[in-house]
């Protein structure tokens, strides 16, 4: 089987739709029949919960993987209610573990050490914490691509240079393969002028690197997170679901471009 394609949804800012995007794009990939692994690297474990799992009820999570990478990721990979979609689950104990790991020489490569050489999935989607933490670096260390979700709010663009700076440093020191394959406009309320202006700025700034479909502000997405399920299950016709299906299709298209070496839209 070819090496899986790995995508990190990263932004130095919190509350911009990273987790919502990671789980819905992963869910859309899985629905098209592509075996997908969602890797939850956030101590808040929101992606794990969003997929209906209770981190405290699991026998193994990412914490166990990072403590002993030699056992691989398999014990902490759990099936979800969605065919083709599994999750490498997070647990809040990742919070205290981070400071302990900080002293280890191989701290940036712990997930890489556990990562399978011949995995049973084609796509891996990483959800990372908002702070540019050790866990974000571990994800970027093994990823092929970064998607940067940016809230359509005037202040939100300010977090992008910090995010790009980290991507750049990881590329130079740890993973030359890494590239940004898209910006995703999130929490877009087209009724407000400020959001429309912000989207225009994003188009001007990022051109074809901006994923064409903005994700609308849609209360059904927040309700799906609360209920621990994907919006596709609750309301596959909703605006939020339609936007995430379209965004996932664009990301898949960019993945194929990257794989075929015709990556016209990859920023380096």
Ligand X SMILES: Nc1ncnc2c1ncn2[C@@H]1O[C@H](COP(=O)(O)OP(=O)(O)O)[C@@H](O)[C@H]1O
How many residues line the site for Mg ion (CB under 5 A)? 3
CB 214 within 8 Å of CB 195: no
Considering only residues 219 to 248 of the shown chain, the ones binding ligand X according to CB under 6 A are: 219, 221-222, 225, 240
Tell me the C-alpha distance between 223 and 132, whole Å.
Answer: 27
Which member of 6, 19, 159, 175 binds ligand X (CB under 6 A)? 19
What is the three-class DSSP state of 241?
Answer: helix
Which member of 7, 10, 12, 16 binds ligand X (CB under 6 A)? 16
Residue with smaller CB distance to Mg ion, 46 or 258? 46
Work out whether 20 is an interface residue with ligand X (CB under 6 A): yes
Residue with smaller CB distance to ligand X, 119 or 182? 182
Distances (CA, A) of 104 to 34, 40, 42, 54, 65: 36, 21, 20, 29, 15
Considering only residues 102 to 121 of the shown chain, the ones binding ligand X according to CB under 6 A are: none
- Least distance (Å) from ligand X to the CB of residue 69? 25
CB 103 within 8 Å of CB 9: no
- Half-sphere exposure (Cβ direction) of 144: Cα atoms closer than 13 Å: 19
Nearest to 181 by CA among 4, 6, 3: 6
Q: What string marks each residue from 148 to 187 as x (binds ligand X by CB under 6 A) or -?
A: --------------------------------------xx
Residue with smaller CB distance to ligand X, 47 or 114? 47
- Least distance (Å) from ligand X to the CB of residue 229? 12
CB 18 within 8 Å of CB 151: no
Q: Which residues contact 99 (CB under 8 A, 6 or more apart)?
A: none
Provide the binding-site residues for ligand X, judged by CB under 6 A. Answer: 14-20, 46, 130, 186-187, 215, 217-219, 221-222, 225, 240
């Amino acid at each position: 089987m070819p090496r899986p394609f790995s995508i990190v949804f990263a932004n130095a800012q919190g509350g911009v739709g990273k987790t919502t995007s990671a789980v819905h794009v992963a869910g859309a990939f899985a629905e098209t029949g592509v075996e997908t692994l969602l890797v939850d690297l956030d101590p808040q474990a929101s992606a794990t919960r969003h997929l209906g799992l209770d981190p405290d009820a699991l026998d193994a999570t990412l914490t166990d993987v990072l403590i002993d990478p030699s056992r691989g990721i398999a014990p902490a990979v759990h099936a979800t209610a969605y065919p083709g979609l599994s999750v490498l689950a997070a647990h809040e104990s990742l919070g205290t573990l981070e400071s302990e790991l900080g002293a280890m020489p191989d701290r940036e490569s712990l997930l890489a050490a556990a990562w399978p050489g011949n995995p049973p999935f084609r796509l891996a989607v990483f959800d990372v914490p908002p702070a540019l933490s050790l866990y974000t670096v571990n994800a970027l260390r093994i990823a092929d691509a970064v998607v940067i979700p940016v809230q359509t709010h005037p202040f939100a663009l300010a977090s992008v240079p910090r995010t790009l700076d980290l991507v750049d440093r990881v590329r130079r020191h740890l993973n030359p393969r890494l590239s940004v394959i898209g910006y995703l406009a999130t929490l877009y309320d087209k009724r407000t002028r400020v959001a429309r202006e912000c989207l225009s700025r994003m188009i001007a700034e990022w051109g074809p690197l901006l994923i064409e479909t903005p994700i609308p502000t849609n209360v059904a997405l927040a309700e799906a997170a609360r209920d621990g399920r994907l919006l596709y299950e609750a309301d596959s016709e909703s605006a939020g679901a339609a936007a995430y299906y379209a965004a996932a299709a664009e990301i898949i298209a960019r993945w194929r471009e990257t794989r075929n070496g015709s990556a016209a839209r990859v920023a380096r």
